[in-house]
Amino acid sequence: MTNEQDKPGGPRQGRQQPSGPRQGGPRQGRPRRYTLDPPPGFANIELAHSVALLQELAERVYDQIEDLPADALDYTARDAPLSITMLVLHMAWAELWWVRRISGAEIADSLDREVQRGALDNIGQPPPTGYSASELIAICRRAQGEYSQPSLAGIEDIDEVLKKDGFTFSVRGAMGQLAWHWSYHSGQIGLLRLLWGSDYQWRSEDILPLRPR
């Protein structure tokens, strides 16, 4: 991966690594939500609830980053190869990676090109730069709205044992893996934001999840 990325109208220009964290006040975050309505049209209601959870975990990430300027998104700590930009693209890539193995559905070339910048094989390379928070959020929303949700909607059996690309898994297990993955990297995003110089304060609604029925 390079620091110059394709963009309609011309290449993305790489940004100079910031010299150090910027000071800023803490962001008061949106409430974490637990009472989640499953999306309609799913053959398996438990899977619909799992998709709703992934969408909520993504919304928490969007709230963590939407106020950040480009130098915060591009900031890396010491010699670590991770930036917020890289982590957000990686989470979108990972969700599509797993959903493709679950469903077999093809990913649109334009979407695949965007998320490939966050592929696991690219971690350790210089992270991509030049994205705004709104661009990163739009990529993730497209990944979930245009690919993950419709690709998963028709699946009925979520406990069938599948073997693909060296992994043995079920749909239920893969959805749990993705929930962990969004949560794990959200914590890293929070740390990078704090090291850059702006804290983020979590809030929470009542912790009353809906029971699948």
Q: Match 């929303």 to its residue by tokens.
A: 141
Provide the whole-model pTM: 0.86
Whole-number Å distance between alpha carbons of 92 and 182: 9
Per the prediction, the chain carries an average pLDDT of: 89
Tell me the HSE value of 148 on the side-chain side, using a 13 A CA sphere. 30
Check residues 38 and 7 and name the one with the higher pLDDT: 38
With cut-offs at 50, 70 and 90, classify the pLDDT of residue 78.
confident
Averaged pLDDT for residues 76-90? 94
User: With 60 as the cut, is the pLDDT of residue 64 above it?
Assistant: yes
In this predicted model, what pLDDT tens digit does every residue of 110-154 receive, in sequence order? 999 999 999 999 999 999 999 999 999 999 999 999 999 999 999
Averaged pLDDT for residues 47-52? 97
Averaged pLDDT for residues 191-209? 92
Neighbours of 123 (CB within 10 A): 14
User: With 90 as the cut, is the pLDDT of residue 194 above it?
Assistant: yes
Q: Give the sign of the dihedral formed by CA 172, CA 33, CA 69, CA 185.
A: negative
Angle of CA points 47, 157, 55, to nearest 5° = 15
With cut-offs at 50, 70 and 90, classify the pLDDT of residue 55.
very high
With cut-offs at 50, 70 and 90, classify the pLDDT of residue 7.
very low
User: With 60 as the cut, is the pLDDT of residue 19 above it?
Assistant: no
Supply 177's token pair. Answer: 């893996």
Averaged pLDDT for residues 22-49? 88
Averaged pLDDT for residues 181-207? 94
> What is the CATH number that goes with domain 40-204?
1.20.120.450
Task: Look at strands 162-164 and 167-169 and give their pairing.
Answer: antiparallel
Closest CA to 183 of 19, 13, 58, 21: 58
Given this model, what pLDDT does residue 22 score?
53
Given this model, what pLDDT does residue 16 score?
41
